[in-house]
Amino acid sequence: MTVDKKTGLASIGPGNKFEDLTTNLAKHEVMLPHGTCGTVAIAGFTMGGGWGPWTRKEGMCCEHLMGVTVVLGNERL
């Protein structure tokens, strides 16, 4: 996970679980709407829409997604 200090945008790999991710984001003074299960990773959470306790106030996680890099089964990006 990296955070662009100028824009506040985070680049988060798909295996990052919330049990570590939220702590690391907070160290950079950024956050995203997230759920309450620490063992869920960002990719699955976002693909499921990203519903959580902050959905009404902040929106769903998928609404904050700025871009993705997808690796296909044939190894093409």
pTM of the model: 0.76
Distance CA 11, CA 42 (A): 11
For the chain, what are the domain ranges? 2-64
- Judged on CB neighbours under 10 Å (0-12, 13-18, 19+), 32 is buried
Q: What is the pLDDT of residue 48?
A: 80
- pLDDT value at residue 36: 86
Q: What is the pLDDT of residue 50?
A: 80
Which residues lie below 8 Å from residue 50, measured CB to CB, with a gap of 6+? 33, 34, 35, 60, 61, 62, 63, 64
Structure confidence at residue 10 (pLDDT)? 93
Per-residue pLDDT reduced to its tens digit, 5-62: 999 999 999 899 999 999 999 999 998 888 888 899 998 888 887 888 888 888 888 8
